[in-house]
Amino acid sequence: MSVNKDVFQQRNTNTDFQSHGLKDWDAHSRTPETLIPTHCSFCGVQCGMYLKVRQGQVIGVEPRNYAHNRGSLCPKGVVAYQQANHPDRLRYPLIRRGGKGSPLERATWDEALDYIVSRWQDLQGQYGKDAIAIYSGSSMTNEKCYAMGKFARAVLGTRHVDYNGRLCMSSAAVAYAKAFGIDRSPIPMTDIPNADCLVAVGVNMSECFPVMMQWVWRARDRGASLIVLDPRETPLARTADLWLPVRSGTDMVVLNTMLNLLIQDGMIDEEYIRERTVGWEQVRETVAKYTPEEAQRISGVPAERIITAARMYGRAATSLIMHARGIEHSSHGVNTCLACTNLALARGQVGKLGGGTMMVTGQGNGQGGREMGQKANQLPGYRHIDVDEDRRFIAQVWGIPVEEMPWEGAAATEMIHLMAKGDIKSCMIACSNLMVSLPDNQTVRRALQQLDPLIVVDFFMSETAELADVVLPAAVWCEDEGTTTNLEGRVVKINKAVEPLGESKADWEILVELAKRMGKERIFSYRSARDIWNDLRKATKGGAADYSGMSWEKIDEEQGMFWPCPDEGHPGTPRLFTERFGHPDGKARFIAVEYQPPAEEPGEDFPFRLTTGRVVYHYLSGNQTRRLGFLNAQAPEPWVEIHPQAAAKPGIQNHDRVRITSPRGSMELQALVVPTIRPDTLFVPYHYGHAEAINQLTNPAVDPTVKIPEYKACAARIERIDAPEKEGGTGYTVNYNPENMPAMFPYAVGETGNKKIKE
Ligand code: SF4
């Protein structure tokens, strides 16, 4: 790939304080003229913050006492503002005038947009509407997400539109829609202190959602117990009463066993089950065969700990299960989330203050992004693209004949195969970095290189943008306004602090320009984000996620509003399911789920289970946070965590260079020998690109229902780089006879390194 270095600077080089255009600290230059109230650009908590503005530049940040972050910010939030004036920002469009292999060169907006439209018109004329795809993101505002879905379906007429939320919590979303009839966490995070027992399943909250921890601590201060299921003793697990060191990909067997134990001990809520649910008998029969001993064999969690967990959970008057990517990034992610909902329904917890389940959504607008109609099978307001009434309603709002409304298209992970096959000829990717975030990224590279043109809209030169034929510079979050919907379902207002840098434009403005050139100005002529907001309020009216009664002013007054909010006098709905569930009969669904192993199990050649995740310093693909000096200094490159017992045999020591290999490839990185991980498991953070991307190795297997990839479990081996090769493989194996697992851990039940378990 040829890169014109004059056009943009090398990645990861501009991370020092001075290079952000900020001189050494002095009180005068750091004094803001204005404080703009807004929210963080990063995770699903969407903390309130003020941006300090001076002479048209964002120069700093101040915490804001908003309802759910109460004046707290995590390390990412504190430096998020440094993106605005960052020297790596893309300031003008780039194009490869000489075709593939030629350098990216500066272009005017007219040249870039005219080129895109003329190519799209040629391709659609030759191959049909579906030759073009839109791959969007969930870190954008609701207004931009809505505009992406409408642009794809109403302007391009393609059915292929999907978004990167597919890679995040989409399995939880489907599970909640099946179990509760509505895909949203039932309670706000401010209700957490009402719980007497918290169960954290595959959620590394202290690192990934640090500000949310204050609500967990309030519950703990009231005496709530904490149970953590995780293959690593995460910072959260280290504070728990009980850590269940579950083998990645096997959580469901533990959850089903806990339910069976609750039934045996008479700890289920018979009245709630009778009055508020259907499907219980089948679940009861299904879990009857899940014994603690069998669960220990499969999950590696000592049977006594599972029994203790069931008792702690079952005895609590109010209990809350919080879950995230640890179980959702799986080829059976939907079913594991359903095991959580089954457990909570059996205890009669869903709809109760502080009780039930909560999906801890990762992306900044992961919740809103999937409600706005940029998902392959959904229309705005959680309407379904295959329901006649929903299609007609949205077609009427958009001003197009219903016959022109496309049907369901390919999920994000399936688009890659269609690109590789040549069925999708061109794709516009916005706010997504597929070359880091999708599994088996060599296959992704081949697929993207087939596209002509590949168009990437971003504000930094991502690993994906490096492959593009056209790169369009987008505004960052504080250069535009709109709304996001956080992991609670709380809609918050993002305010504009400064003008877009250079020639960059808000994503929706780019779409408006393209629509005009395609002769679709009549249906896509927005002049502001507020115009789009007003349109999306109409489009969501009457849907499950109904925003129609909200206004930007009321959102600010109320410190966020929760949908559904069907009219302007409505206060919004912070708590769902207090009286009824979202299914037509008002009842929740128990859904029987059986344990299935991950798609790829360890074996002789690949004896370890490799799992991936986030660290506190980085966000998603790292395209933003790897450029922010303080964050990058803390975690400038990936590492692999390995248990001392596993490291001993091949002689791996802390900081050794090692090679890890899966059936799809190898990479070299540094070893971190830690006692806080299962001895049969390796962990690598996923925020890095190129040769440092762990997604060179991960398994592209997906959940059959929702197509989310299995990032959390693939087979791998590890070797010291200078270790002599031995015949017949790596020369060592890990003893993962499950019977030996409890002894392999340095902890016994009641001695998790933390508090004594309350029996
Ligand atoms: Fe931003 Fe999330 Fe940190 Fe809050 S917890 S400051 S939203 S990254």
Give the CATH number, domain containing residue 206.
3.40.228.10
Q: Classify residue 521: in a domain, yes or no.
A: yes
Same-domain pairing of 336 and 253: yes
Q: What is the DSSP string of 456-513?
A: EEESS--TTGGG-SEEEEBPPGGGS-EEEE-TTSEEEEE---SPPSTT-B-HHHHHHH
Same-domain pairing of 688 and 705: yes
Q: Classify residue 75: in a domain, yes or no.
A: yes
Residue 416 beta carbon below 6 angstroms from any ligand 1 atom: no
Residue 206 beta carbon below 6 angstroms from any ligand 1 atom: no
pLDDT recorded at residue 375: 94
pLDDT recorded at residue 169: 80
Q: Is the predicted pLDDT of residue 743 greater than 60, yes or no?
A: no
As beta bridge partners, residue 60 has: 52
pLDDT recorded at residue 723: 57
Q: Classify residue 491: in a domain, yes or no.
A: no
Banded pLDDT at 29 (limits 50, 70, 90): confident
Same-domain pairing of 509 and 384: yes
Q: Is the predicted pLDDT of residue 612 greater than 50, yes or no?
A: yes
- Cβ within 8 Å of residue 455, ≥6 positions away: 116, 426, 427, 428, 429, 468, 469, 470, 471, 472
Same-domain pairing of 411 and 393: yes
User: What's the CA-to-centroid distance between 72 and ligand 1, angstroms?
Assistant: 9
| pTM for the predicted model, two decimal places | 0.92
Same-domain pairing of 11 and 136: no
**Segment 249-264 mean pLDDT:** 98
For 513, the domain range is 94-168+365-480+502-539
Please give the share of the chain, as a percent, with pLDDT higher than 90: 86
Same-domain pairing of 680 and 724: yes
Residue type, 629: G
Residue 46 beta carbon below 6 angstroms from any ligand 1 atom: yes
pLDDT digits (tens, 9 = 90+) for 686-731: 999 999 999 999 999 988 888 888 999 999 999 999 755 554 444 4
The overall average pLDDT reported for the chain is 91
pLDDT digits (tens, 9 = 90+) for 450-486: 999 999 999 999 999 999 999 999 999 999 999 999 9
The structural domain count of the chain equals: 4
Residue 42 beta carbon below 6 angstroms from any ligand 1 atom: yes
User: What's the CA-to-centroid distance between 369 and ligand 1, angstroms?
Assistant: 17
Torsion of CA 271, 274, 276, 279, to 10 degrees: 140
Banded pLDDT at 744 (limits 50, 70, 90): very low
> Ligand 1, residues 38, 39, 40: which to mutate, most atoms within 8 A of Cβ?
40
CA distance 296 to 306: 8
Q: Classify residue 409: in a domain, yes or no.
A: yes
> Ligand 1, residues 209, 212, 628, 630: which to mutate, most atoms within 8 A of Cβ?
209
Q: Classify residue 593: in a domain, yes or no.
A: no
Which CATH number does the domain housing residue 58 bear?
Answer: 2.20.25.90
Same-domain pairing of 304 and 423: no
Boundary-marking domain end, from 83, 105, 133: 83
pLDDT recorded at residue 759: 32
Q: What is the DSSP string of 161-227?
A: EEEGGGGTTHHHHHHHHHHHSS-S-SS-GGGGGG-SEEEEES--HHHHSGGGHHHHHHHHHTT-EEE
Do residues 468 and 456 touch, judged by C-beta distance below 8 A? yes
Of residues 700, 683, 741, the one with CA closest to residue 600:
700
Boundary-marking domain end, from 342, 359, 376: 359
Same-domain pairing of 414 and 532: yes
Q: Is the predicted pLDDT of residue 428 greater than 80, yes or no?
A: yes
Same-domain pairing of 611 and 744: yes
pLDDT recorded at residue 165: 82
**Segment 666-694 mean pLDDT:** 95
Which CATH number does the domain housing residue 640 bear?
Answer: 2.40.40.20
pLDDT digits (tens, 9 = 90+) for 270-322: 999 999 999 999 999 999 999 999 999 999 999 999 999 999 999 999 999 99
Same-domain pairing of 616 and 716: yes
Same-domain pairing of 380 and 521: yes
Residue 45 beta carbon below 6 angstroms from any ligand 1 atom: yes
Which CATH number does the domain housing residue 406 bear?
Answer: 3.40.50.740
Q: Whose CA is nearest to atom 1 of ligand 1?
A: 77
Boundary-marking domain end, from 359, 374, 396: 359
pLDDT recorded at residue 17: 42
Q: Classify residue 588: in a domain, yes or no.
A: no
Banded pLDDT at 18 (limits 50, 70, 90): very low
CA distance 631 to 628: 6
Of residues 628, 607, 689, the one with CA closest to residue 434:
689
Atom of ligand 1 nearest to the CA of 211: 5
pLDDT digits (tens, 9 = 90+) for 348-393: 999 999 999 999 988 889 899 989 999 999 999 999 999 999 999 9
* Angle (deg, nearest 10), helices 292-299 and 303-315: 120
Q: Classify residue 466: in a domain, yes or no.
A: yes
pLDDT digits (tens, 9 = 90+) for 77-119: 999 999 999 999 999 999 999 999 999 999 999 999 999 999 9
* Angle (deg, nearest 10), helices 251-264 and 303-315: 60
Q: Classify residue 458: in a domain, yes or no.
A: yes
Residue 210 beta carbon below 6 angstroms from any ligand 1 atom: yes
Cα atoms in the 13 Å half-sphere on the side-chain side of 498: 25
pLDDT digits (tens, 9 = 90+) for 573-586: 999 999 999 999 99
Same-domain pairing of 181 and 258: yes
